[in-house]
Amino acid sequence: MTTTDPESTGRTGLFRGLDLRAILLEGRAFLALIVIFAIFSILAPASFPTVSNVIVMCEQVSVYALLSIGMLMVILNGGIDLSVGSTLGLTGMVAGLLMHGVKAFGATLYPAVWVVVIISVAVGALIGYVNGLLVARLKVAPFVATLGMLYVVRGLAELSTNGLTVNGLDGDPALGNTGFDWLGFNSLLGIPTGVYVLVVVAVLASLLLNRSVYGRWLYASGGNERAAELSGVPVRRVKIRAYVISGVCAAIAGVILTSELTSAGPTQGTSYELTAIAAVVIGGAALTGGRGTIRGTLLGAFVIGFLAAGLTIVGVSSYVQTVFTGAVIVLAVLLNAIQYRGRRKAAGTAATPPPPASPKAAKAEQEQSAFEKTAG
């Protein structure tokens, strides 16, 4: 009989069965957020940990987080969407231009705010649909397809006003198009409206991934597309819908950001796609697809947002901030590689069959079996 010494495993009493390494890897985004908040609270105790500053940081993070949720959907499917920043800029321009009125039949029409939001989100969904068609139907590499759309969409945003910014989006009560600022600029119970929008989108996305057939299909096709297809999963439709969701999330972020700034500029959202990818990676998602959660992605977005805000408050230059952000991303990718490499090794070990018996042992086993049958 073999006995195991608890001290040899490093786990005794209440800690038996706990893997500290796995806990640190799984919860690294949450731990990083705590460390960042603690450090900057010590460096800037009079400004960083205040309630008003935390609310402002949450408002800023909401835009990144919305983009990151859409990006997670695409990455879970094993793809990438580099056009989300440009989609944010174009949908913001669409909202701004609609708020200024649309000329039709010799008159200027001023649509209501809800109509502006629906049209802007529809534009984002259309961009995502085009991305999905390029990737799923025409078999264009996701990186190439979305990189091309990045330039196309950004060019359309600049062409819409020849590079000019659309200001004055407060609306006019006489025209019936007021209330646009409520989407991101104003607050309810002291919390910005954009944060409420983020919570609603995050809850819906979480339910979609964890409580729907589409969520199971998305994880399956991202983990092994060929096996999912052989199992009856409509991988093309799943892929197209993932890009549509990404476009919708980018459009919502564009409307929120435009409302926060009360202006729309064609360069809004530049390089935001990199921030979204970074948040997804920091949150523990695998860039190869099939692994990732909404919770982790939100934590990743808050890590980036709080880090940038803290560095700004303590007076660190924007160039050094870029270095810090890049280092965090590299570290997150490294930890992801360590985490998933360990899982692959464990799976491989579990699936390894026992070694074949030696010829002598096999012969003895056959003789023993024959003797038992004769005796029986």
DSSP string, 8-32: HHT--GGGTT--HHHHHHHTHHHHH
pTM of the model: 0.83
Contacts of 54 (CB under 8 A, 6+ apart): none
What value does the CA radius of gyration of the chain take, rounded to a whole number of Å?
26
Q: What pLDDT does 120 receive? A: 95
What residues form DSSP beta bridges with 187? 192
Q: Structure tokens of 254?
A: 């564009």
pLDDT along the chain (376 residues), means of 10: 43 48 69 91 90 91 95 95 95 91 77 90 97 95 95 94 85 72 81 92 95 94 91 94 97 93 89 91 88 92 92 87 83 77 54 48 51 46
Going by DSSP bridges, is the β-strand pair 187-188/166-167 parallel, antiparallel, or unpaired? unpaired
Q: What pLDDT does 25 receive? A: 62
Q: What pLDDT does 199 receive? A: 95
Identify whether the C-beta of residue 188 lies closer than 8 Å to the C-beta of residue 120.
no
Pairwise CA distance, residues 175 & 71, whole Å:
37
Contacts of 319 (CB under 8 A, 6+ apart): none
Q: What pLDDT does 345 receive? A: 54
Pairwise CA distance, residues 80 & 77, whole Å:
9
For 259, phi then psi, to 5°, come to -70, -40
- C-alpha distances in Å from residue 86, one per residue of 14, 67, 95, 134, 367: 51, 11, 14, 17, 75
Q: Structure tokens of 326?
A: 């890049």
Q: Structure tokens of 98?
A: 């609609």
Pairwise CA distance, residues 68 & 91, whole Å:
17
The H-assigned helical ranges of 211-282 are 213-223, 225-230, 235-261, 272-282
Q: What pLDDT does 188 receive? A: 84
Pairwise CA distance, residues 284 & 249, whole Å:
20
Q: Structure tokens of 242?
A: 């993932």
Pairwise CA distance, residues 180 & 240, whole Å:
31
The number of residues making up the chain comes to: 376
Identify whether the C-beta of residue 37 lies closer than 8 Å to the C-beta of residue 49.
yes
- Beta-carbon neighbour count of residue 59 at 10 Å? 21
Q: How many CA atoms lie within 13 A of 97 on its CB side?
A: 19
